[in-house]
Structure 1
Amino acid sequence: MVLVLTAAVGGGLALWGWVSDSLGTGLRLAGGDFQPADGTFASPVDGGGDGSSQVLNAIAAVGPTVVAVGSDTTSPVPRPLFLVSPDGGTTWRLGKVTGFAGQEGGPATVGLVAGGDGRWLAAGNEPSGTGGPAGGLTVGLWSSVDGHRWSAVDAEGLTAFASGDRITDLARTSSGFVAVGTAVLGDGTSGAAAWTSPDGRSWTRVETRDIGAPDRIRGLRAVAARGDAVVALADPAQGGPGSVVLRSGDGGRSWLPSGVALDGVVAQPGTLAVARKGFVLVPLQQRSAKGEVRVHCSADGGKWEACGAITGLDAQGSGVKRLTSSPEGVAAVTETGLERYAVHTSADGREWTRAADLGRLPGSLRALAVSGTGTLVVGGDERAAEVDNRLVLITAAKGSKAKAVPLAEIRGLVRAARETARVATGEGRFVAVGSVFGDAGIWSSPDGEEWQAAGPAETLGGAHRQALGDVAYGRKGWLAVGGAMSGASSTEPLLVTSADGGDWRRVPAADALRPAGDRDFLAPHAVAAGPSGYVLAGEERGAATAVPVLWFSADLKRFTRAAGLPAGGAGVRLHDVSPTSSGYMAVGGSGTAGHETGVVWVSADGVTWTARKPVVPVGATSAGLRHVVTYGGQAVAIGAAETAEGSRAFGAVSRDNGATWETVWLPADHEAAVQDLAATQDGVVAVGRQGARGEGDSAVWTSGDGRSWQLHTPTQGHLAGGGLQWLGAVAVSGDQVVALGRSTTYDADHLTLWRSTLAADR
């Protein structure tokens, strides 16, 4: 029997529902109280930016349909961006996307788009993380029949792409699509690669040996097509400021063995376009001292001539940013002066006219298309409010001035950066940490229901992005840890302390809190408080290396970095730390994605650490530990494993300080992942999600001993339903459980708050 009660609470909607799971014995949840939390975890500062991080990379137009693509990393769940205009750039809306990978780590960056005759294709590349070779990438593809409804191509359709492949450009052909790019050869160097498809969903690979010998060319960088006549630009094998032109007469399925060399033209995407009588090539970001960019023309790509020039560019401008085909010829977006932009057009590449002045923009315009009615559509992104990166979309109809598209009016496009990363308890108070609008965020509550933003704001804000990832209460008070960007590409530790959870001060990032000279990233992401002090776990990264880092502080004033980590910490990422009856414990994983093993390190003083044996449950092909707490004299850890049945969460219990472990699988109806873990006087509570990959609903697990677990599936409000929902942070004070989470779909993103009461069977 399920009881649901609906009531208005504090201007919001509260839903109460009894869980209907078979609870059995042990630690039980009596019920659940859901509250929407978008307004609860707000910024203490009014005005300024919202922390948005959106990029527009490419635009394509076919008749009246215009599609602009990019990425949105504002939320913890990045999303591919598709903006669509059905009327030549007059009105815009967010596209509809299925197969949205979200938290599963699937590609979310769209860098290219092409279409025509009822078929559209978008492509992007994502870092492969630990699963591929150094510098490897993962290809993402999306297809559409109308430019509005998009579907991600599943793994079965991507078998023609190998680890390390990169798509650099694509084009619509008479027979489908051709994509060009690079592949990693057997000797580790780059080679040319191409792929063809009749529909954008099934692909055939054209190997390097069938395109051009590696001693002549490396990667393919740009492509354009007239019907099935394809022209591509390649990097010359010997390097230098030149390129090699390659041709195909059958849509890219086969390539002519010889290529034409073009001196002084750097191969880049957006360099080639199709005009009425042939192909046009314009070097990007290359201009003469006179402010001119030479234009090259060819009837079939076999023979090229210097045919014209784009002139009148200021010495401070970078030149042409992008070339595109148009119904009346070709068009180019140019940086005419420092952050000043214009569009030049030509019927055949020989005579050019400045068609529109776009004005000054504190950012970059890199995308261009021309609708069937002749409207110029230009896109990119700009800096704003110190930490924001916002989309720019500009249209200019024939004979009219350029004007900005009112992006704030597009439903579902704009998102505010906010995250509740962790919550902890101490002295009868809950404290949550995370980020809001690009600054670090801290909120405190006496009961888990009413929350107040902590400060002062200047302690948590700054000129660059910063965020807190964990918080703990110990004998010297509160400590919250995270990272603060100290420059455009560098991050340093962010540590703030408080006696009461409301007033915070910043710990200077000095001495042991400074990164090594050749490292540009150092930040803690986990903290635990024990009787002797505080232990922090984090990571230090350089250009090609990453190592775990541990610190200890007894007084929150002086911090000691642990030296001599087990095996130097090679290949290890630490996820969580906890005090134990004999000191401290850190858990994590080692190895690459799909080949991970659980890591356990222990320390008596927080400075000297010893490794225990790896932890991998029986039946797992890959497993790592993510969270650890201590309860009743034992350590309880939660991990993530890959099995023949898919992704599963497992528990591990140790009564001998990590020397031996007993593992169990957590119950779940689908694939599951635990996001956080909290200990109580009667057991442990874990929160996360369960569901199909890329989707899922909030889930809670309770256990009185760490071995026998009960699954609870709260369904109130945004805790379940379409899209991806999860509870990502949990804390317990007495019998009161407070969990923070998120509900996200392609066009909506909400913070959630859930409270419950524990009862123990004794």
Structure 2
Amino acid sequence: MLGASTLALLLVVTLVVVKATQRDTGSWQLAGEEFAADPVARSDGRDQELRSVASVGRLTVAVGGERSVLGYRAVFLVSPDGGRTFASARVRTPSGEPAPLDDVPSFVAGSPAGWTALGRSVAGGTVVWTSPDGRIWTRQPDQAGQPFAAQDRVRALTRYAQGFIATGGTTAKGDHSDTAPVVWLSQDGRSWRRVTGWQLHPPAKGTLEFTEVAAVSGAIVLRGVAEKGAEVTWRSVDAAATWQEFVPPKPKDSKGLRLAATAGALHVIRQVKDGAKLYSSADGQEWTEGPALEAPGLESVQGLAGEGGALTASVVTDRRLDLLASKDGAAWAPAGSLALLEGREVTGLSSVEGGAVITGRDTGGDDVNALLAVRDTAGGEIPAKISGLVVPDKSVTALAQRGGTVMAVGSTNGDASVWLSSDGRSWRRAKGGTLARPGTQRLHGVTAGDAGWLAVGADTTGRPMVVTSQDGTDWIQADREEIFAADEDTPVTAHATVSGPGGYVVVGDSGDSAITWHSTDLKTWERGAGASGDNLEGAPTTRRWMRSVAAGQFGFVAAGGVTDPEAYGGVFVRRPTVWASPDGRKWILTRLPLPTGVNEGWLTHIVAKDDLLVASGTAVVADGARTWSLTYLSSDGGRTWQAVELPAETGQNVTVTAMTVTSKGVLVAGTVGRPRDVMLWSTRDGRSWSRSRPSGLGANGPGDQLLTAVTAAGGSLIGVGANAAGGEDQPTLLVRPDE
């Protein structure tokens, strides 16, 4: 058993690794039918959003995405008929392959000559998409985003006379407390040029970030926010060659400013006491006042959009978004409204030939849903028909086995789900019963011991999910006990569980702190504590979190990470961390040293085979642009640790996704490359490793694929995961001999 006096200082040693590449054998299949959904599900169970929208004539493109167990799926919706019907556009790489996941498009702009979109990758860096017609999109290589530096932030995008212009800000400190303005220019939407510092005239005084841009002919207007919220406006009348600070018409006691352009003019709206005033200019220099906007109860001007000769303004009035339309700025007429329900966020407005399109997200229901509202020129609601936006949730996240039964847990349509199998090939769904509760839920971990089955996860109420079962079919909510209660403003999540000689342990996080629970019989529970004050307790600058836990004769060892405010001159760096406990009650924290060339890292998985412990996670390598596997070995039950490098192709992103103990040792599953393919590593003793690159549907090929869980049962290795080929994703199943 581990105690404080037996835990040695850790020494990182790079071990000799035998690199052996081989093809994997086994049966891979798509398993959407095997892991059946609840026939009476309440929702699709996934979060969707639309972040931006733009129109050219009657052609409209809205961009956003959907989150799943595989990652973030970028979505481009295109409508050829003014928003009456939308379909999911094809998004591909230059070679014609499906685009990788985890890219988030945030801005879109179009012209008769072509379209462009900008966003960010979850892994970091700006992503560029282009389209000749808005219907088929190409995700450009990462090099296209290099003019957008890591410290830059894009805030607006539009077309201008010579192509496309984006604007925003950059920061040297990293927190945008020193924001300076940036402009990016492109003739074709693919190749961009960054303009900053002395190249912008006049240079910014103090902090400044531009948040809006509008352009017509050679004239461009930028609106930004400077120190203490001061409004700053810049103008170029020579197609972005030079810039001057100027103040658009500003009547007394007016506030706010919104920009837009139509085919022949720039337009600005300022809010006044009884409504709003419109000013227009053909050249950005001479401005004329147009008709006033009148909306009873107007609280603020939310947006302004133009297309062709038409303008659309959106104004907030008493929990409602009212639209006003104007043809050539000659007069304003009501153009419909949208209820501002609780949790509704409006992110985009586009004036389209025949009406207007509004995008955003609705967060007030069981899950987050995309907002797409269309109004005709008379203000009538057009029920848009959408194809390809929603892919219902069906995620399998963890496996366990005991007594000839294999159990899989995860979620379908936003409800926690359990499936059972005797051979790993045919699966039946357990009863829903106590698993379903308000909001969305997902089970993250499952284990079995002498007292029965235990599954854990999280729901959107902020409480952990902790459910138990004797037979795997009927479940009891253990988390109703007060010991699992969360503070009102501190959500609690249970990430993993394990059973061993010392009973059952559940680990997770509570706000900025790590949290554990222990039980010997699945009936009575107690909360774990740190051996000292900061072993589990964290703060915003010193966070602690646990993601996995292993058990054995040594007791329990959990794996996760902490933030270290002392590393690299005060930057909060994530550090790989293990916690040891002899009984699941008192925990000792130990930070593991980072290997040479690694900026930061954290652990996501840990398993134990007798006294052999293997913990793996993610390392951010020195260039900051790639992730690598981060693996540590303990051969003495967690007393001492050594670092080991899993063999993989140099230069590729590597992520560990699952681990298990086999009859011969330890198996690690992960992904390599982008889009991601499955890679397997195996070891008998933790010192010598072999790798295999599986082939087959669900292992490699077009799109992203991964294994989320693996277990050994009845002489077989059983794996579950997901495959995203073809723009959708569904569960995958692997069954192969345990050898």
TM-score range, shorter chain: 0.7 to 0.9
Count, aligned residues: 698
Contact 1:217 1:244 in 2 (8 A): no
1:32-81, Cα deviation, whole Å (9 max, x unpaired): 22332212223334153212322223221224532111222255421222
Segments of structure 1 that go 5 or more residues without pairing to the other structure are: 1-20, 132-137
SS in 2 for 1:731: strand
Q: Relative to 1, partners in 2 of residues 1:149 and 1:687: Cα closer, same or farther, differing over 3 Å? A: same
| Residue 676 of structure 1: how far off its partner (Å) | 1.0
Q: Relative to 1, partners in 2 of residues 1:243 and 1:87: Cα closer, same or farther, differing over 3 Å? A: same
Segments of structure 2 that go 5 or more residues without pairing to the other structure are: 1-18, 565-570
Q: Relative to 1, partners in 2 of residues 1:617 and 1:277: Cα closer, same or farther, differing over 3 Å? A: closer
* Distance in 2 separating the partners of 1:639 and 1:70: 29
Matched, 1:494 2:465: yes
Contact 1:49 1:384 in 2 (8 A): no
* Distance in 2 separating the partners of 1:716 and 1:504: 36
Matched, 1:603 2:603: no
The one-letter amino acid paired with 2:496 is A
Matched, 1:587 2:587: no
Q: How does 1:56-205 map onto structure 2 within 5 Å?
A: 56-86=50-80, 88-89=82-83, 91-98=85-92, 106-108=102-104, 110-124=105-119, 139-184=126-171, 189-198=177-186, 199-200=188-189, 201-205=191-195
1:658-715, Cα deviation, whole Å (9 max, x unpaired): 333344433445744321111134322222333x2x2132233333333333333332
- Counterpart of 2:661 (choices 670, 673, 679) is 679
The one-letter amino acid paired with 1:406 is K
Match for residue 548 of structure 1?
Answer: 514
* Distance in 2 separating the partners of 1:643 and 1:277: 50
- Counterpart of 2:477 (choices 506, 513, 536) is 506
| Residue 213 of structure 1: how far off its partner (Å) | 6.4
Contact 2:528 2:584 in 1 (8 A): no
Match for residue 40 of structure 1?
Answer: 34
* Distance in 2 separating the partners of 1:218 and 1:659: 52
* Distance in 1 separating the partners of 2:255 and 2:100: 37
1:273-312, Cα deviation, whole Å (9 max, x unpaired): 12466322235xx786x6x444344455456665322334
Q: How does 1:642-721 map onto structure 2 within 5 Å?
A: 647-649=627-629, 651-668=631-648, 671=652, 672-690=654-672, 692=673, 694-721=674-701
Contact 2:549 2:606 in 1 (8 A): yes
Q: How does 1:414-493 map onto structure 2 within 5 Å?
A: 414-457=390-433, 459-486=434-461, 491-493=462-464
Q: Quick check: 630-639 or 497-506, which moved more?
A: 630-639
Contact 1:526 1:577 in 2 (8 A): yes
Q: Relative to 1, partners in 2 of residues 1:714 and 1:255: Cα closer, same or farther, differing over 3 Å? A: same
Matched, 1:531 2:501: yes
1:218-250, Cα deviation, whole Å (9 max, x unpaired): 3222110012311122225333xx733321223
| Residue 560 of structure 1: how far off its partner (Å) | 0.8
* Distance in 2 separating the partners of 1:121 and 1:144: 6
Q: Relative to 1, partners in 2 of residues 1:594 and 1:82: Cα closer, same or farther, differing over 3 Å? A: farther
1:300-339, Cα deviation, whole Å (9 max, x unpaired): 54566653223344x4x76654321121231224566645
SS in 1 for 2:239: coil
RMSD over equivalenced CA pairs, Å: 3.7
Contact 2:600 2:621 in 1 (8 A): yes
SS in 2 for 1:238: helix
Q: Relative to 1, partners in 2 of residues 1:380 and 1:582: Cα closer, same or farther, differing over 3 Å? A: closer
* Distance in 2 separating the partners of 1:297 and 1:49: 46
Contact 1:295 1:308 in 2 (8 A): yes
Contact 1:551 1:562 in 2 (8 A): no
Q: Relative to 1, partners in 2 of residues 1:715 and 1:207: Cα closer, same or farther, differing over 3 Å? A: same
SS in 1 for 2:698: helix
* Distance in 1 separating the partners of 2:249 and 2:357: 33
TM-score (norm: length of structure 1): 0.81
Contact 2:200 2:243 in 1 (8 A): yes
Match for residue 232 of structure 2?
Answer: 244
* Distance in 2 separating the partners of 1:651 and 1:446: 33
Q: Relative to 1, partners in 2 of residues 1:161 and 1:717: Cα closer, same or farther, differing over 3 Å? A: closer
- Counterpart of 2:723 (choices 740, 743, 746) is 743
Contact 1:651 1:664 in 2 (8 A): yes
Matched, 1:309 2:292: yes
Q: Quick check: 638-647 or 419-428, which moved more?
A: 638-647
* Distance in 2 separating the partners of 1:96 and 1:119: 16
Q: Quick check: 43-52 or 420-429, which moved more?
A: 43-52
Q: Relative to 1, partners in 2 of residues 1:617 and 1:733: Cα closer, same or farther, differing over 3 Å? A: farther
Q: Relative to 1, partners in 2 of residues 1:755 and 1:594: Cα closer, same or farther, differing over 3 Å? A: farther
* Distance in 2 separating the partners of 1:603 and 1:675: 25
Higher relative contact order (CA 8 A, sep 6+): 2
Q: Relative to 1, partners in 2 of residues 1:596 and 1:361: Cα closer, same or farther, differing over 3 Å? A: closer
Matched, 1:560 2:527: yes
Contact 1:738 1:755 in 2 (8 A): yes
Q: Relative to 1, partners in 2 of residues 1:717 and 1:287: Cα closer, same or farther, differing over 3 Å? A: farther
Identity, in percent, stands at 28
SS in 2 for 1:508: helix
* Distance in 2 separating the partners of 1:418 and 1:702: 29
Contact 1:195 1:252 in 2 (8 A): no
Contact 1:79 1:102 in 2 (8 A): no
Contact 1:379 1:394 in 2 (8 A): no
